[in-house]
Amino acid sequence: MHKENQHIEFKSGFNDEVIETLTAFANTKGGKVLVGVSNKGIPVKGFTIGDESLQQWVNETKNKTQPSIIPDADMIEYKGSNVAVLSVPEFPVKPIACRGRYFKRVKNANHQLSASEISDMYMQTMQYSWDAYPYPGTSMIHLNTEKINAFITKVNEEGRFLLPTNPEEALIKLRMLKEGVPTNAAMILFSKENLLYNVHIGRFKTPSLIIADKMINGNLYDVLEESLQTIIGHLKFAFEITGKTTQRTEIPEYPLDAIREILLNCLIHRDYRNPTDIIIKIFDQKITFFNPGGLFGDITPEDLLTDTYHASARNKQLVEAFYLTQILKNMVVV
């Protein structure tokens, strides 16, 4: 144990930074602060501590955190010297604040949470999602009934879930209508008016030379299909004649299943509180997708290279809607 990491922090003495670190650990995966050790992992000469000091530190941590955290406090021998260890597990209800500020542990440092990160952490802990909250100032009259009916028909045909044929009753069953007010998900999926959640697609010859440009918005299901067809329209296709039939086989330069999967993830998992557009750039040799929101929860890019990470959804109602219509599993190419 010679370096600070996601679960270990060294401090030469007890101060408010120790409490901030304990808060960051509680908001992430838990950890320990070794008090009486320099940031190089070397015990501080002349450092002494008594049992009363340990209890004072525990009390101070309790008083400066909301909700209060009470760390375990111990004395251990470290490299021939006695040091204090304050440790906390990951807390089940997050985030924990230290003097009104919120932190999480990122590698070997504490990262102060932004307002949106605080909201995300709370909703994830409480198993809420932003898209399940009511959309202010709306009612059923703001929804496109034809789109809802088409959705109901599709869901019932797939057979995973049986919805009432009445649009209002169907949305209530899906928890997308609460006391007469549509949720954010219901508005994103079925709103009559354009909510201006844009998908911006450009065809580039060079990073600075654009040869085609299109802005797509509206009902989310329509946005998916129009965006897909726009991308396909810019792809190159090879043609193969096998001799087994008189028809030729079209082979796109990119697997269309993969293109649709990436696009679908952009739409379902974007942060709809962020006004930035989804931006798709099509070049001669590559396609790039930009999605506002980043990875949700504690997942890192490194985690995605493994099969052991726990996935979580930013927009649970949108995920459920696309799951019920089998779009998350079936690829439809026009």
Instruction: Judge whether 9 and 64 are in contact, CB under 8 Å.
Output: no
Within a domain: 155: no
Residues 119 and 12 in one domain: yes
Q: Give the residue carrying structure tokens 């932004």.
A: 114
The predicted pLDDT at position 56 comes to 94
- Burial (CB count within 10 angstroms: exposed 0-12, middle 13-18, buried 19+), residue 332: exposed
Helix (H), strand (E), coil (C) string for 212-251: EEEEECCCHHHHHHHHHHHHHHCCCEEEECCCCCCCCEEE
Q: What is the pLDDT of residue 124?
A: 78
Domain ends where: 91, 125, 159? 125
> DSSP label at 131?
G
Residue 20 placed within a domain: yes
Count of helices and strands (H, E) across the chain: 9, 16
> For residue 176, what are the contacts with CB-CB under 8 A and spacing of at least 6?
182, 183, 185, 186, 189, 317
| Structure tokens belonging to residue 87 | 């440790």
Is residue 311 domain-resident? no
Mean pLDDT in consecutive groups of 10 residues from the start of the chain, 334 residues: 86 95 95 94 85 89 93 90 93 90 94 89 80 93 96 90 94 94 96 93 93 93 94 87 69 91 92 92 95 78 75 86 76 34
In a domain, 158, yes or no: no
Question: What pLDDT shows up at residue 174?
Answer: 93
Residue closest to 289 by CA, chosen among 311, 314, 263: 263
If asked whether residues 117 and 23 sit together in one domain, one would say yes
> Is 2 domain-assigned?
no
Look at residue 221 and tell me if it is in a domain. Answer: yes
Which domain covers residue 205, as residue numbers?
199-294
Stretch (H or E) spanning 256: helix 256-269
Compute CA distances 305 → 97, 111, 131, 169, 309, whole Å.
Answer: 32, 23, 28, 42, 9
Among residues 99, 125, 151, the one where a domain terminates is 125
Q: Are 69 and 22 in contact (CB under 8 A)?
A: yes
Give the Å distances, CA to CA, from 167 to 147, 148, 149, 186: 10, 6, 6, 11
CA dihedral 313→319→323→325, nearest 10 degrees, is -170
Q: What is the CATH number of the domain that holds 111?
A: 3.30.950.30
* Domain contains 283: yes
Print burial letters for 7-45: b (CB count within 10 Å at least 16), e (below 16): ebbbbeebeeebbbbbbbbbbbebbbbbbbbeeeeebbe
Residues in the chain: 334
**Two tokens, residue 41:** 């992992």
Interatomic CA distance for residues 250 and 150, integer angstroms: 31
Query: What pLDDT score does 332 carry?
Result: 36
Instruction: Count up the domains in the chain and report the number.
Output: 2
Domain boundary residue, one of 102, 125, 148: 125
Q: How many CA atoms lie within 13 A of 58 on its CB side?
A: 16
Q: Which residues, in sequence order, are CB contacts of 214 under 8 Å at separation 6+?
A: 200, 201, 202, 230
Is residue 204 helix, strand or coil?
Answer: strand
Give yes or no: residues 26 and 117 share one domain: yes
Same domain? For 16 and 119 the reply is yes
Contact at 8 Å (CB) between 76 and 102?
no
243 falls within a domain? yes
